[in-house]
Amino acid sequence: MSAAETEVAGPALHVRGLRLAIDGVELLRGVDLDLAAGECLAIVGASGSGKTLTARALLGLAPGRVRASALQFGGTDARRLGERAWRRLRGRRIALVNQDALSALDPLRRIGSEVAEPLRIHRLALDGVHALLARVQLPGRSRSYPHELSGGQRQRALIASALAAGPDVLVADEPTTALDATVQARILELLAELKAGGTAIVLVSHDLGAVARIADRVAVMHEGELVEQGPTAALLAAPVHPAAVALVEAARPSPVRGSSASEAASAETQRDSSSSRPIVLEGRGLVKHFGATTAVAGADLVLRRGEVLGLLGESGSGKTTLARLLLGLERADAGDALLHGEPWSALPERSRRERRGRIQLIGQDPLASFDPRWTGRAILGEALAEAGVARGGRADRIRSLAVDVSLDPALLERWPRELSGGQRQRLAIARALASEPDVLVADEPVSALDAAVRGTILDLLDRLRRERGLAVLVVTHDLEVVRRIGDTVAVMRAGELVEQGPVARVLLEPEHPFTRELLAAAT
Amino acid sequence: MSAVVPGARRALVLPRWRPGAVPALIAAVVLALLLLAALWPSLIAPGSPTATDARAGTLPPGAEHWFGTDRSGRDVFTRVVHGAGASLGLGLGATGLALVAGGLLGTLAGLAPRRVDGVLARAVDVLMALPEFLVALLLIAILGPGTGSVLVAVALAAVPAYARVARVRTQQLARSAFVESALVLGQRPWKRMLRHVLPNLLGPLLTMAALGLGTAIVSAAGLGFLGLGATPPAPEWGVLLSEGRNLLGTAWWVAVFPGAAITVSVVCASVLGRWLGGRR
């Protein structure tokens, strides 16, 4: 980016009327973009809006034929380039950082060699590799393989590789989506540094929090068009187009429950009022080892009727294992899980079976939790059969379950794979409700969903808690989920519950340093 | 296990239209014709497959004898048509037997405690290391020649392949999220097996069987050719082929037509099997 910068005439990126159609369907309908050196433009939008396609089209990687009235990188017209010419441009002038760092890196290749690849391709000196790795804070890791790196480190290696040949424009497609909050923050800092160094960045994201931190301008994408563009702060504060408004709405942090004026009791009295509710699920000193690693190291947990407990932690912290211990899906090495004060985890499955209906699970990946051969109707029918509902009454109950979770009953004739992510999750919740359980364990129920859908699913869980007095354990890495529906929260790190308490207290006055770090990373 | 699933539409039997359907359709039609020949040979070739005619020895193909006649004046077309029953029957029977036996063995191994599974899996691996035909020959050596022996030998030789697929698939399914979901609902183990594991196991196994049918037909015919199966006057394709072997120089049609019948049936079974297996 040193020598090239001086030659650059005009903006780093200049795009007019970018169009792309596949099989006669217009996926991009005239996208206009301008980007100056050292500027960061964020393209935001719901999934399927064409963000990623736009990013790929900028690098000549889009499937199908791309047409544009202008597509220039620092004055070079890229419209009529053949594949060979594109290859000379990619990496050197414009580079891509992919969404999924694990699959973007060759598993059999050391990081150093991966980072050096663009240098080799463009016949540049290979001596910069160590400096590049140092720049993304991976010094001395050039001999590591991708599987030896954490998710954040892989993403940084990918960024180093993209930077290697000194591109003027960096296109980053959801670079932080799969990462934990604290790691996300570090990647964003890195991108901000690059920007300060003069690299122009196109950041594709659905995460407005990330966008707000580093983007100078935001462009909102909706059905293949950029419907609104503007300076980040202004656009996020006062969006105009309905699609932009919906995005901003969905991303707005929720007020912490119990922190509003009407419920302005102190944390202590809150605890008192809630402790009058009966305990439905309790973990006592739960321990689980997998080989030499300790997934859960002595967890004590209490879940009361009509209460949402958020189990908050980063990936690998053992929160899913703890949830599985409580569900009796994993045998604890020590400790007990009690359901309604009676033994639960210690029992053999045979004795548990009768009470299985009391505690239900909503999994991380609803699609995988359905038999691929079965339609929604059959799935709910089976759940009702296991709950002891007679055959004659099932059709009505199937309908009412669908209505309870706001799922159009007509959709029950489809296979789950034909449903959208939100619809699948509703179906999973409907199945969990079939036995009229007292406890719902939801493992990352919204992490795979779009922001707008996410809100509706969380609202549904909250409504079920209110209307049915359900106790809900929500396992999540997302602070926003806890903030939105949690009553109490338990923060987990490396198998240990480091802090527990009412959400209002823990989020507003965190005691443990790790909780503070989590909160800082998310704001 | 019939009708246990209310409202579960089967995606198994009627595949959707997609590229490659035309060859598959042709293969299906040819196989249907061969099957008709196997079930009702006299409809297509009314004569007797074993009737000799001393005056009509080794006649070349013509209007009267489409595939010519052999040395004893028997009509080759009639013999090929009547041989379909024995050859396809052996192939289908052996494949069916292998599917059931291998499927059961594999499923049990997949569900068995680790030590039992280990023993079964290693035994299957050892058998897999030997070519199927060799195993079949070995079994014939033990069982003695005859049609029944051929059926059993070809079937047993194919068992390891089915067992292996069934075992791995069972293990995957037993650990899958949807089987766990059934457990969370409180479903009993046998019900989970019948409703969620077995039906999902069946798809890959049936695909394998469709592909294995061709191999089984060839193996059965091969054993017949070696004189280990049906006894000579009977019109089994392998036997026919071996009868024509010495006449190749003078009367090619005696060997070529049974050979073509074997080839056509194997190719059709493979094309159809591949198409069925390539779905989704």
pLDDT in tens, B81-95: 888 888 888 889 999
CATH number at residue B204: 1.10.3720.10
Tell me what percent of the residues of chain A surpass a pLDDT of 90. 25
* Chain A stretch 491-510, residues whose beta carbon is closer than 8 A to a beta carbon of chain B: none
Q: In angstroms, rounded to a whole number, what is the distance separating the alpha carbons of residues A97 and A289?
A: 37
Could you tell me if residue A406 is inside a domain? no
| A477-493 CB burial, b ≥16 within 10 A, e <16 | bbbbbbbbbbbbbbbbb
Q: Cβ of B8 and A378 within 8 Å?
A: yes
- Asked whether the predicted pLDDT for residue B28 surpasses 50, the reply is yes
Q: Cβ of A357 and B5 within 8 Å?
A: no
Interface of B with A (CB under 8 A): 5-11, 176-178, 180-188, 195-196, 199-200
Q: What is the mean pLDDT of residues A275-301?
A: 88
> Mean pLDDT, chain A, as a whole number?
85
Could you tell me if residue B5 is inside a domain? no
pLDDT, residue A274, reads 58
Q: Which residues of A touch B11 (CB under 8 A)?
A: 373
CB pairs under 8 A between A and B: 73
Q: Which residues of A touch B5 (CB under 8 A)?
A: 373-374, 378
Q: Which of A227, A251, A275 is the last residue of a domain?
A: A251
- CB of A169 closer than 8 Å to CB of A12: yes
The string of pLDDT tens digits covering residues A347-401 is 998 989 989 999 999 988 888 999 998 999 999 999 999 998 888 889 999 999 9
Interchain contact A347–B (C-beta under 8 A): no
Residues A30 and A111 in one domain: yes
Q: How many domains are contained in chain A?
A: 2
Residues A237 and A326 in one domain: no
Q: Which residues contact A479 (CB under 8 A, 6 or more apart)?
A: A181, A312, A507, A518, A519, A522
Residue A343: strand, helix, or coil:
strand
B184, B196, B199: residue with CB nearest A356: B184
Of B74 and A432, which is predicted with more confidence? A432
Interchain contact A372–B (C-beta under 8 A): yes
Interchain contact A434–B (C-beta under 8 A): yes
Residues A361 and A435 in one domain: yes
DSSP string, A243-279: HHHHHHHHHSPPPPTT-SGGG---HHHHHHHHTTSPE
CATH number at residue A142: 3.40.50.300
Question: Range with the lowest mean pLDDT among A319-328, A467-476, B206-215?
Answer: B206-215
- CB of B119 closer than 8 Å to CB of B105: no
| pTM exceeds 0.80, yes or no | no
Q: Cβ of A378 and B6 within 8 Å?
A: yes
Q: What is the mean pLDDT of residues A227-245?
A: 87
Q: In angstroms, rounded to a whole number, what is the distance separating the alpha carbons of residues A400 and A393?
A: 11
Could you tell me if residue B1 is inside a domain? no
ipTM of the predicted assembly exceeds 0.95: no
Q: Cβ of B8 and A375 within 8 Å?
A: yes
Residues A305 and A212 in one domain: no
Could you tell me if residue A29 is inside a domain? yes
- Asked whether the predicted pLDDT for residue A66 surpasses 70, the reply is yes
Task: Work out the burial of residue B96: count CB atoms within 10 Å of its CB; fewer than 13 is exposed, 13-18 middle, 19 or more buried.
Answer: middle
> Mean pLDDT, chain B, as a whole number?
82
Residues A242 and A280 in one domain: no
The string of pLDDT tens digits covering residues A174-226 is 888 777 777 788 888 888 888 888 889 999 988 888 888 889 999 998 888 88
Q: Which of A210, A226, A251 is the last residue of a domain?
A: A251
Residues A221 and A103 in one domain: yes
Residues A241 and A294 in one domain: no
Could you tell me if residue A393 is inside a domain? no
pLDDT-derived band at A300, boundaries 50, 70, 90: very high
| A330, A356, A371, A375, best to mutate vs chain B, most B CBs in 10 Å | A371
pLDDT, residue A430, reads 94
Of A309 and B65, which is predicted with more confidence? A309
The string of pLDDT tens digits covering residues A73-127 is 877 788 877 788 888 888 888 888 887 777 788 888 888 888 888 888 888 877 7
- Asked whether the predicted pLDDT for residue A263 surpasses 50, the reply is no
Interchain contact A356–B (C-beta under 8 A): yes
- CB of A59 closer than 8 Å to CB of A73: no
Could you tell me if residue A484 is inside a domain? yes
| B4, B178, B193, B197, best to mutate vs chain A, most A CBs in 10 Å | B178
The string of pLDDT tens digits covering residues A449-461 is 877 788 889 999 9
Could you tell me if residue B16 is inside a domain? no
Q: Which residues of B touch A353 (CB under 8 A)?
A: 186, 188
Give, as one character, the DSSP assignment of residue A354: G
Could you tell me if residue A410 is inside a domain? no
Could you tell me if residue A418 is inside a domain? no
Q: Cβ of A360 and B184 within 8 Å?
A: yes
pLDDT-derived band at A268, boundaries 50, 70, 90: very low
Interchain contact A435–B (C-beta under 8 A): yes
Candidates B152, B278, B256, B126; CA nearest to B207 is B278
pLDDT, residue B13, reads 43
Nearest CA in chain B to A384: B185
Tell me what percent of the residues of chain B surpass a pLDDT of 90. 18
- Min CA distance, A370 vs chain B (Å)? 5
Kind and range of the H or E run holding A281: strand A279-290
- Asked whether the predicted pLDDT for residue A308 surpasses 90, the reply is yes
Interchain contact A368–B (C-beta under 8 A): yes
Within 10 angstroms of residue A277's Cβ, the number of other Cβ atoms is 15
pLDDT, residue A323, reads 93
Q: Which residues of B touch A370 (CB under 8 A)?
A: 178, 181
| A170-199 CB burial, b ≥16 within 10 A, e <16 | bbbbbbbbbbbbebbbbbbebbeebbeeeb
Q: What is the mean pLDDT of residues B232-257?
A: 81
Tell me what percent of the residues of chain A surpass a pLDDT of 70. 93
Q: Cβ of A386 and B186 within 8 Å?
A: yes
Helix residue spans in A252-358 (DSSP H): 267-274, 319-327, 349-352
Q: How many domains are contained in chain B?
A: 1
- Min CA distance, B103 vs chain A (Å)? 20
Domain boundaries, position B235: 22-33+69-277
Could you tell me if residue A388 is inside a domain? no
Could you tell me if residue B84 is inside a domain? yes
pLDDT, residue B19, reads 64
Candidates A453, A462, A464, A459; CA nearest to A430 is A464
Domain boundaries, position A152: 3-251
Q: Cβ of B181 and A374 within 8 Å?
A: no
Nearest CA in chain A to B6: A378
Residues A212 and A281 in one domain: no
Could you tell me if residue A394 is inside a domain? no
Q: Which of A209, A224, A251 is the last residue of a domain?
A: A251
Residues A238 and A289 in one domain: no
